[in-house]
Structure 1
Amino acid sequence: MIGFDKQLVSKVLIFEDAAAAQVKLKALCADHGLIGLKQAQHSAMSLLESNIDLGAVLISEGSSDASAGIADGFALARHIHLLRKELPIFIRREGRCDLDDLSAEEREGIAGAYDLEQPDSFKQLLDQYLADTEYPISLIRRMEEITHSSLNALFRDVEVTNELPYLVKDKLTYGDILSLLPIESPWFSGYMMVQSEEQPMIELIKDGRTAIDGTNADFRDVMGMLSEITNLAWGGLRTRLLALHPAQAAEETRISVPITVNQYKEYISFGTDRSQLCFKYSLRDIHGRLAPVTLYQKFIFNIRWSPEEYRQADENNVDELVESGCLELF
């Protein structure tokens, strides 16, 4: 399990040709918990068309792609916006961090501008468009730990690892199968989604790594396994959360939001632009015979989200444990 202390990460796709700007941008990404992905042999456009989670796209005024007929950063922004409308696009400018001098056509698809000589302009864009929701670290740790334990309980002879949690703005789905579960606590209401690929999971079942009889395993068994993962992870998390603050009848959520899915485009929308909190888990055969299974777990708090109330309950619980003698202050 990978721990972290200060911030979530997010993947951003970078179109930047100026060497000096690349150096400064790399430092900014490191400071703000961003994982920068840049074009390799002009493959960035195909990256946008592939199924990869992103938080934002960073371009510059001088960005171009002759092979695609893109002459400048503004044309590039319009092209990217057509491909991935949900992704915010930040454009680097020289000497200014606004769009006031641009025409409506040039502004199309651009969320905002920043100047590397004014680092605060970059941070403001991140705060506005990417880090738009605060996720308490203790809550994220609980999500990670309980899901990790659930996977270890459901699978035999596999090593469970996970990457750093991260935020995404896009609404892409991963793999062939998806499990979706409404989740609710005194502080939030939304959905938990678990996604994976069918064939590697079938191989694990056939090889006896689960409690399912693998003799005639097919997609139904995989769907059942994904449902079991979803239910066990949420059941454990819900128990931990309700121990902090038992739900009251008055706190029941009565609001619903439409969910739309385009299976052909591998796209799902929960009716909100809020960032999704994501965890990526890998199940690796300790004997090295089977292909690894990748699981994506995403939390979408599209109906209610009150991190301040959660934090207060969490802090109060720590105080109570100290007073009861269960914990000591170091």
Structure 2
Amino acid sequence: MSRDNSIMSKVLVLDDGMTHFESLKNLCEEYGLAGIKPQRGDADAVMAILNSNVDLGGILLYENYGGNAGSCLELAVKIHGSRPELPIFLRRDQLSSVAGLSERDAAMFRCAYTLDDLQMLRANLEASIFNRIYPNDLVRGIGEMTRTSLQALFRSCDIDVETPYLVKDRIIYGEVFSMIAIESNWCRGYMMLQASEDAVLDLIRRNAGQDGHAINFRELNHVLGEATNMIWGSFKNRYVGPGEAGGSSSQTQVPIIVNHHRRFISFGSEDPQLCLKYTLREPGKYEAPVSIYQRFVFNLSWSPQEFKENATVESLVDSGELELF
């Protein structure tokens, strides 16, 4: 599989066939997958991972995981019931199909494949996880402008940006998140920032010095809202042409569903979301790093072929359209 960008996707690998470890590792590297495995292979451990704040694009499941096919199917039922949005790719020993499974069991799997025949897996990875292309310049620019915005608000921190990745799940990270509409002639959707309330609040208090004890969650809301506005402002200046932002009343709208109990949010779309993770570290201190997750979901409109950066003054000077006075 050759893709033009370096975006990856995390997959949960439920495969205890140790003789095939290297083959599975090579498979993940070839297809741009970051594989993670549970420390324990029992169903409780697997479900604990799925119920945590792990952003996943899918699941690679071996048909004899747990010792036999029956255990695998029982686990698949639990996974599908808990996280139906995650595609499950079934590795089999002999057949690159779901032949032999009941219609009900077969419906849980996106596809079946063997390590000797990866054609079906390749096609389904492209169709389910990597079916949306994000231009390299857009992804790189988002990381740059977000890091700059966060640096302006958290001046004492070093900020790292991890490799962007695609997610299929709808899990909300942490207790607080902001959301803002993103609109242009080539995209319409939303951007979110998600974070742990206590971690960010403690960081803000430490940065405030002696006045930190008086800071509460309202200041956290202000900081997160300010970061969101700064990022959207940079996005608009860089990627949205004059008069493009702000939709008309005739544009399509989709209900957004939030389930607070399950930390779940749905935008009415099955397309993978673009996710970036930012880690804030305080040099010289032993405090735990603070993570902020950023997600983009272009669920209302997406035309990447029309994407382009707005011209800067420097580029216009270089092209001869402007000259310095």
What is the TM-score of this pair, normalised by structure 1?
A: 0.87
Distance 1:47 1:309, change over 3 A: same
1:108 Cα offset (Å): 3.5
1:208-232 Cα offsets, whole Å, 9 max, x none, are 359xx64511011111111111111
Distance 1:315 1:77 in 2: 47
Root mean square deviation of aligned Cα: 2.6
Superposition map of 1:116-265 within 5 A = 116-208=115-207, 214-242=212-240, 245-248=241-244, 252=248, 254-265=251-262
Q: Is the 8 A contact 2:183 2:247 kept in 1?
A: no
Match for residue 267 of structure 1 among 248, 257, 264: 264
Q: Is the 8 A contact 1:74 1:107 kept in 2?
A: no
Match for residue 283 of structure 1 among 280, 283, 288: 280
Distance 2:317 2:74 in 1: 59
Amino acid at match of 1:324: S
- Partner of 2:207, secondary structure, is coil
- Partner of 2:296, secondary structure, is strand
Distance 1:107 1:288 in 2: 52
Distance 1:257 1:85 in 2: 20
Q: Is the 8 A contact 2:276 2:295 kept in 1?
A: yes
Distance 1:64 1:201, change over 3 A: same
2:308 matches 1:306:
no
1:8 Cα offset (Å): 0.7
- 1:324 is aligned to 319
Distance 1:235 1:315, change over 3 A: closer
Unaligned runs of 5+ in 1: none
Distance 1:149 1:209, change over 3 A: farther
Identity percentage of aligned residues: 39
1:248 Cα offset (Å): 4.5
- Partner of 1:161, secondary structure, is strand
1:170-209 Cα offsets, whole Å, 9 max, x none, are 0000111110111112210000010111112222222235
Distance 2:197 2:266 in 1: 22
Q: Is the 8 A contact 1:73 1:91 kept in 2?
A: no
1:52 Cα offset (Å): 1.1
Distance 1:122 1:202 in 2: 44
1:65 Cα offset (Å): 6.4
Distance 1:272 1:159 in 2: 35
Amino acid at match of 1:217: I
Q: Is the 8 A contact 1:12 1:57 kept in 2?
A: yes
Q: Is the 8 A contact 2:5 2:134 kept in 1?
A: no
- 1:84 is aligned to 83
Distance 1:106 1:168 in 2: 24
Q: Is the 8 A contact 1:186 1:247 kept in 2?
A: no
Amino acid at match of 1:53: D
1:99 Cα offset (Å): 2.0
Distance 1:322 1:11 in 2: 43
Superposition map of 1:287-298 within 5 A = 287-298=284-295
- 2:92 is aligned to 93
Distance 1:287 1:73 in 2: 48
- Partner of 2:214, secondary structure, is coil
What is the TM-score of this pair, normalised by structure 2?
A: 0.88
Distance 1:195 1:18, change over 3 A: same
1:111-152 Cα offsets, whole Å, 9 max, x none, are 111221112222111101111211111100110000011011
Amino acid at match of 1:195: Q
Q: Is the 8 A contact 1:57 1:88 kept in 2?
A: yes
Distance 2:80 2:245 in 1: 44
Amino acid at match of 1:229: A
Which stretch of the first structure deviates more once superposed, 77-86 or 271-280? 77-86
- Partner of 2:127, secondary structure, is helix
Which stretch of the first structure deviates more once superposed, 217-226 or 288-297? 288-297
Distance 1:202 1:10, change over 3 A: same
Unaligned runs of 5+ in 2: none
Question: How many pairs align?
Answer: 312
1:160 Cα offset (Å): 0.6
